[in-house]
Amino acid sequence: MADVRPFRAFRYDSQRVSPTDVVTQPYDKITPALQDRYYAASPHNLVRIILGRREEKDNPANNVYSRAAAHFRDWRRQGVLRQDSSPSIYAYSQRFTPPDSSRRGSASEIERHGFIALGRIEDYSAGVVFRHEQTLAKPKADRLDLLRATRAHFGQIFVVYEDDGRVEKLLSTSTNPDISVADEYGVAHRVWQVSDPGVISSVQAAMRDKKLIIADGHHRYETALNYRNERRAGDSSSVPDSPYEFVMMTFVDMNSPALVILPTHRVVHSLTAFSEEAFRNSARAFFDIDEIDAALDAPRATAILREAGRCGTAILAVTAKRAFLLHHPNPNAPQVFDGLSIRQQALDVVQLHKCLLEKVLGLSEESIRNQQNISYIRDATEALSQVRSAGSQANIAFLMNPCRMTQVRDIAFAGEVMPQKSTDFYPKLLSGLTIYALD
């Protein structure tokens, strides 16, 4: 089912620039501080293309998108970016220590293996590529403008497939990598160019019957899909293998023990009225509630959640002065799950959104989508700090267990979706390791 192709990637010339100075985190993980750091690192840092600075003088002829296209054109012309001579796939490994390594029982490093190649863009209805999260219109409009201007993909869509390790074995090697770089989180990224036609053919054959689930990059995948449809409509000579029919992907076996999903915690802020007692009383309609030590720290919170989560849903609600463990959802609670399957209802994040955010706190689905009163935070320590800080606008923090890969798989293959920010696959794929130019 999956149509995987080699390609001639553009890559930074390591004789001209150091990879450490030019590659970046995915665009949606680049904070203003990180953007400044990337700008200072090198005049050829990829941030100038994927997340350039806006300027007061911007106009339709000179803006972040036109400047991105100019940088890409100039760097190719200058030889800063060079295209590989042979169609290739690119073995990609990431060696890292999980941020929550205590959860795994060891602080030792682990290594996740995958490979970068082109994947044919498929409509979801084709049953080849599956999503698991909702997308928002604004980020897709931004990425579409960038794709129109540059006609290139600078980061990979992170997809997972189910395998027994066969593909990983085909790409295993003891040779030195072509690219080796450590990112700002201490993750060691290594890339090997694989041009052997026999190996490539074997990988293609092994992937042919696979179904692909988007782990990260839903907005960019749907942008590529929209761009493909746009080009088809305006291209009378369109052929099945036109460059815009493909997008750059990193493929990872979902059964890999190094596939790590982190939780994304929620902090609710700036509510016009909030009472801890009223929250507890209202939440009792949906969960059993235990009040626990309000001074708990992040490691203690993680341990409590892990233990309580063995029996099903477990959510920690923490305010400036109190903390509540919510567990064992009430099967007789007021109906809040209209239109959601049993699979979706079993997700902690759905229980949180539908019961606590919408019913107890009165947040609308639209306000949650627009992040009007809610922030999404990976680090539990930061979430606790925000809700406890004097003068903070934070009312309550919700700490969660991570979603399991089996849940993601079952939801995706059923054609269903989770709320936004339900999964946080770690570590992220670096942008700029390989670049796919459409022309």
pLDDT of residue 45: 98
For range 377-396, the mean pLDDT: 94
**Mean pLDDT over each residue of the chain, to the nearest integer:** 94
71, 228, 347 from 143: Cα distances, Å = 17, 13, 30
Q: Is 106's pLDDT higher than 60?
A: no
DSSP for residue 311 = G
Q: What's at 108, amino acid-wise?
A: S
pLDDT for 136: 81
List pLDDT tens digits, range 25-73. Answer: 999 999 999 999 999 999 999 999 999 999 999 999 999 999 999 999 9
Which residues does residue 431 pair with via DSSP β-bridges, in sequence order?
24
Residue 420: predicted pLDDT: 86
* Percent of the chain topping pLDDT 90: 89
Q: What is the pLDDT of residues 258-286, one digit of tens each?
A: 999 999 999 999 999 999 999 999 999 99
Is the pLDDT assigned to residue 225 strictly greater than 60? Answer: yes
pLDDT band (50, 70, 90) for residue 238: confident
- 79 pLDDT tier (thresholds 50, 70, 90): very high
| E-state strands within 80-239 | 81-83, 89-96, 110-120, 129-130, 152-153, 157-161, 179-182, 188-194, 212-216
Question: How far apart are alpha carbons 159 and 21 in whole angstroms?
Answer: 26
pLDDT band at 236 (very low <50, low <70, confident <90, very high): confident
User: Given this model, what pLDDT does residue 283 score?
Assistant: 96
pLDDT at position 331? 84
pLDDT of 102 reads: 47
Mean pLDDT of 347-364: 96
Single pTM value for the model: 0.93
Task: Look at residue 169 in the predicted model and tell me its pLDDT.
Answer: 96
pLDDT at 101 over 80: no
240/247 Cα distance (integer angstroms): 14
Residues pairing with 181 in the sheet = 189
**Is pLDDT above 70 for 100?**
no
Q: Residue range 402-411: average pLDDT?
A: 96
Query: CB under 8 Å to 429, separation ≥6 — which residues?
Result: 26, 92, 94, 155, 156, 158, 216, 250
* pLDDT score for 320: 94
Q: How far apart are alpha carbons 50 and 430 in whole angstroms?
A: 12
> Does residue 103 have a pLDDT over 70?
no
Average pLDDT, stretch 328-350? 90
Report helix, strand or coil for 136.
Answer: coil
**What is the distance between the alpha carbons of residues 288 and 393, in angstroms, rounded to a whole number?**
27
Least confident window among 103-117, 332-346, 423-437? 103-117
Per-residue pLDDT, 38: 98
Pair 161, 251: CB distance under 8 Å: yes
pLDDT at 105: 44
> Is residue 231 classed exposed, middle or buried when 0-12, 13-18 and 19+ CB atoms within 10 A define those classes?
middle
User: Token pair of 153, please?
Assistant: 């993909």
Out of 129-138, 169-178, 243-252, which region has the weakest mean confidence (pLDDT)?
129-138
Instruction: Identify the weakest region by mean pLDDT among 75-89, 93-107, 145-159, 338-352.
Output: 93-107
Lowest mean pLDDT among 100-114, 149-163, 221-235, 373-387: 100-114
Beta strands in 84-241 (DSSP E): 89-96, 110-120, 129-130, 152-153, 157-161, 179-182, 188-194, 212-216
Q: What is the pLDDT of residue 104?
A: 45
The mean per-residue pLDDT over the stretch 130-142 comes to: 90
Averaged over 292-298, what is the pLDDT? 95
pLDDT in tens, 153-190: 999 999 999 999 999 999 999 999 999 999 999 999 99
